[in-house]
Copies of this chain bind each other. A is one copy, B any other.
Amino acid sequence: MTLPASDALPGDPRFFHREGPFSIGTLAECAEAEIVGQDGAEDVMLRGVAPLQAATAQEISFLDNRRYLPLLAETKAGAVILGPAFRDKLPEGVVGLVSKVPYLAWARIAARFHPVTPARAGVHATAWVDETAQIGEGVEIGAFATIGAHAVIGAHSVIAAHAAIGDGVILGSHNRIGTHVSVSHAILGDRVTLYPGARIGQDGFGFAIGPAGFETVPQLGRVILEHDVEVGANSTIDRGSMRDTVIGAGTRIDNLVQIGHNAQLGRCCIVVSQAGISGSTELGDFVTIAAQAGLIGHIKIGDKARVGAQCGVMSDVDAGADVIGSPAMPFREFFRNVAFLRRMAKKDSKTEG
């Protein structure tokens, strides 16, 4: 077969539903942005979103980084969302939608053209739903999905093909459970999204040393995913041993992340791909854990702390602190150490030579 060019416009109709066209006025309103650069622009109709270099007069584009200013100068886009600092960089004939939060404006306009497909109410002919399960209004259940005994699926949720919702699990409304997800021993709030292959609620890694080998310690807690939580593809969240594992409202977890038993994450945390949070560790609100970072168990990370990529955290981190390195230290100290060591080792090698 012949592969497609990879510079196609976003929103390939094979895969994405499209609405519109919309007037620039409508888009500006939805993004709470100010229209600049051309009289009567609010009535111009646009049909989609596109990057600066690919957009035509019928698309709206986006700029939030100084290094893409050369692309702005040459763009053929009908309109561009941008921050106030760049408003006088707009080329002639390009309409500006000026927003103090241009990325948020972009998110909303893109979602206006390509809204999330609502649940298509109904249970696929091949799905297996236990007769004691409670299925809410407007729920969509895909092929070969399984819903266990006494499970509760809140209204307008989507359970994708091959997903497994275990006995007793409770899901709030408007959940989106991806393909091949498994959920057991868990209670989920509203608008929770689980991406394909996420594993929620299995046994934590708990055992005692007995005379003939390891003996499993029963894992008797649950997983609570509060409202608006998202969990990435193939990530794993173990249920608690004696208390619950809790992920706070609005927290977003990327792919291949591990969350150990009894961990407690606050609200609106960000946990990036391949990071790991060990058992019983607690995060405050608005904490960021960058990719491949690891936190040992039984520590506390304060509100708004930021843990850098590949960081190894072995003790508590203060609220608002920025740490990196393994073991973790303040950002400034880490880079000072790196620079010092480089300089000294180089000097030494010259002396030796």
Q: Which residues of A contact B (CB under 8 A)?
A: 1, 3-4, 6-8, 10-12, 14-16, 49-51, 101, 103-104, 106-108, 110-111, 113-114, 124, 126, 128, 142-144, 146, 150, 154, 160-162, 164, 166-168, 170, 172-173, 178-180, 182, 184-185, 187, 189-190, 195-197, 199, 202-203, 205, 207-210, 213-218, 220-222, 224, 226-228, 232-234, 236, 238, 240-244, 246, 249-250, 252, 254-256, 258, 260, 264, 267-268, 272-274, 276, 278, 291-292, 294, 296, 309-310, 312, 326-327, 329, 333, 336-342, 344-346, 348-349
* Cα(A153)–Cα(B299), bound, Å: 43
| List of 6 A-B pairs having minimum Cβ-Cβ separation, nearest first | A10-B220, A14-B168, A340-B345, A213-B250, A104-B208, A1-B172
A314 to B55, CA, bound (A): 30
Out of B10, B205, B260, name the residue touching A252 (CB < 8 Å): B205
Contact B342 A329 (CB under 8 A): yes
Chain B residues with Cβ under 8 A from A240's Cβ? Answer: 10
Shortest distance in angstroms between A317's beta carbon and chain B's nearest beta carbon? 16
Q: Is A179 touching B182 in the complex (CB atoms < 8 A)?
A: yes
> Min CB distance, A337 to chain B, in Å?
5
Known: A3-B227, A205-B252, A236-B256. 11 other contacts (CB 8 A): A1-B190, A51-B242, A101-B209, A111-B216, A197-B236, A213-B250, A214-B252, A274-B294, A310-B312, A336-B349, A340-B344
Check if A195 sits within 8 Å of B203, measured CB to CB: yes
Q: List 10 A-B contacts (CB under 8 A).
A: A4-B187, A106-B208, A107-B218, A126-B128, A128-B144, A144-B162, A178-B182, A213-B250, A236-B273, A278-B291
Please state if B220 and A268 are interface contacts (CB–CB under 8 Å). no
Contact of A128 among B106, B143, B173, B189 (CB under 8 A): B143
